[in-house]
Amino acid sequence: MREEDLVKAKVIKTDEEHAAALAHLRTLMAAAPGSPEEEELELLAVLIEQYEKARWPIALTDPLDAIEFRMDQAGLTREDLSDE
């Protein structure tokens, strides 16, 4: 790939730009180490990650909710945690 064929990186602002960036990222997955394509791949991955974190943030779970959820998965009750 020639340098002039490389896409100019820009901040992703819309879902459409995100979809286009993901599609382009897939074309770069086989980039040779140290190539301009690999540099573009790394930059594009950072831009996509930044957009996804802002667009679809993952809320932190309350620790007690997490413990209760895991206990429910394992079929445990509060009494199961007691030494008595």
Length of the chain: 84
pLDDT tens per residue across span 37-62: 999 999 999 999 999 999 999 999 99
Model pLDDT, residue 81? 85
Taking the model in full, what pTM does it have?
0.68
Model pLDDT, residue 73? 97
Q: 2, 7, 4, 50: which is closest to 26 by C-alpha?
A: 7
Given a cut of 70, whether residue 36 has pLDDT beyond it is yes
Asked whether the beta carbons of 17 and 50 are under 8 A apart, the reply is no
